[in-house]
Structure 1
Amino acid sequence: LVDARGRLMAALPAGGAMIAVRAPEAEVTAELPDGVCLAAVNGPDSVVLSGDARVVQAYAEKWPRPKKLRVSHAFHSHHMDGMLDAFADVVRNLTFSRPEIALPGDVEDPAYWVRQVREPVRFLDTLRTLRSRGIRTFAELGPDAALSAMGPQCVPDAVFVPALRPSGGATEPRDAVTALARLHVRGAAVDWAALLPGARPVDLPTTAFQRERYWLRDSGTGTAPVGSGLTPDGHPLLAGVVDLPDGGRVHTGSLSTASHPWLADHVVAGTPLVPGTALLDLALHAADRAGAGPVDELVLREPLVVPDGHAALLRVHITPPDAAGRRTLTIASRAGDADTDPWTTRAEGTLAAPGAGVPHE
């Protein structure tokens, strides 16, 4: 059936056009001109016209933003008439059986398949018929999610699950398993034993889930303003870095509970403080970006209180290397809404020379 259908269609003279327009079926078919056929009804306001190229193009321009489809022939139009008799001869010699999975339409009737070549594809009516029979979950088997995108316009209260998505490649196995999982939670009978031989269900904890999220939000990395002269730093707390004329470097950034909510969880004596490990991470990052050796020593001078309701500005200053290749490092901060406040040193330390090791105690 499939082979004969494709072979006979391909043998027809090329030409014609198919164009999708945003309009209801009744509006489009009210004054359908000669040479134009209704090829598909994909939604309440989505149809496809097919037929003679110039006439179809002119008629489709009655509606805004018509979209020409990339096809070899004008399918589901009079351009298919030349293969109908030959296709009917093939279909009459085939044996049809009742499908194991129920399908809409009289698919056991050979004449049905001949009509299907010529008549419109009624995607909208088919989905509404299935929905009237109680079906609310639809799985799309194909290379992308084109039908799943159109489905909600036809039956808004249904769920459409594509087996694959256009990204393709290495994500295809994951897409397929994700689709099975979505169908499973929708009540579909998934044969998990066929997919995961030897696997078995396990009981979940009996305590009801509270549906509260505890995952940390990804604050991303700081962003250096365009035209600021800063090079993007690539650290969550630091926006950019600038090289100084003397060979030193200054990293700058900011932090707050709005951009880094995890900071509010580190509380000492009732006061949220930036952890010392966060300052050490700043020192390690700055040392790596400068091509220096490891952090030889870091002394925490004064706690950095997490600002309440505003941001704190950060500055990590690295001096140029001395004769032995060692550098000193200073981490300072001040309130982001007070330009006149002095910078307060929070930590200072020493970076070893490149290639030097730091003994472990």
Structure 2
Amino acid sequence: MEPMLEEFRRVAENLSYADPLLPVVSNVTGRIAAPGELTTPAYWVTHVREAVRFADGVHALRAAGVGRYVEVGPEAVLTGMARESAGDDALLVALLRKDRDEETATLTALARLHVAGARVDWAACLTGTGARAETVDLPTYAFQRQRYWPENSAAIAAADARAAGLDASDHPLLGAVVALPDSGGVVLTGRLSVQAQPWLADHVVLGRTLLPGTGLVELALTAGEAVGCATLDELTLAAPLVLPEQGAVQVRVVVGPQDAAHRTLAVYSRPEGAEDAPWSTHASGFLAEGVASAEFDLAQWPPAGAEVVPVEGAYEVFRERGYDYGPVFRGLRAVWRRGEELFAEVALPQESVGEAGGFGL
């Protein structure tokens, strides 16, 4: 900035100044500006040239009791930066995001502020749209409910599979196994939906509910167990498996015939009820016999030489980047780094532990 400072000073000296009506944090000092501090050309020349004391400014706001922060700009860059200094209990909201349309992003930001206690003038916000703002009383017992349908329908699924001439599977995601007589291959079938597996609704990426990548690994390992190949030697993810808000998808996991010590593997899906639709490939790879040996020793935990990585506020950062994880997927407890290696402790919510026994991972 050095070469333009004198010209900038000449322009600044021809402007009129007045103290702001609202408190302003100075990026030069990192504190709330005193009366008269922002009303001189010299200050703004310094402002151009000196370092931006952004973290100090956020700390000054926290000390002044500020708990909600709104970024007014084309992206959410400062929101992510401020989170490191604002603390886990602060609400940081960006009005605009480069990957979303402006109306949706702005209304979503206002809604987040509203539910956090900020006053939003909804009447002014909705002027000219044809909508109106009303408040209604919540039910006496808001959001308390009991599920009517049985949670575990594995026994029913097993009976249906045998009635159709298939071998039943007790896996939570795969209900039947079909052996192919001519090739020695195997096909495992299943049906996925957010209604049948409601925990999947907690895995939202860029606004869409996806089967997690670990879910595809789970399907592959289950197929390996069915053919006596306990090691997943390789798995390439080709496309995400998107779950619809209503309805379901049919899943097929196809294992090829024995070839030396390996078998091929592929995971497919198509919308339920769309018999003419092509099958989409989501993953492919190889299964191998035996159990792979671990490449590292976990006898000492945390691993020797590993440094702690802070995880406070991690899920808020993930959400800013489009990964909206619900309670079931908020299991990260601690992380360590050693060179290019990452080590983590992950735990299921207590209410989900009872259902975990049917899975391989």
TM-score (norm 2): 0.39
TM-score (norm 1): 0.39
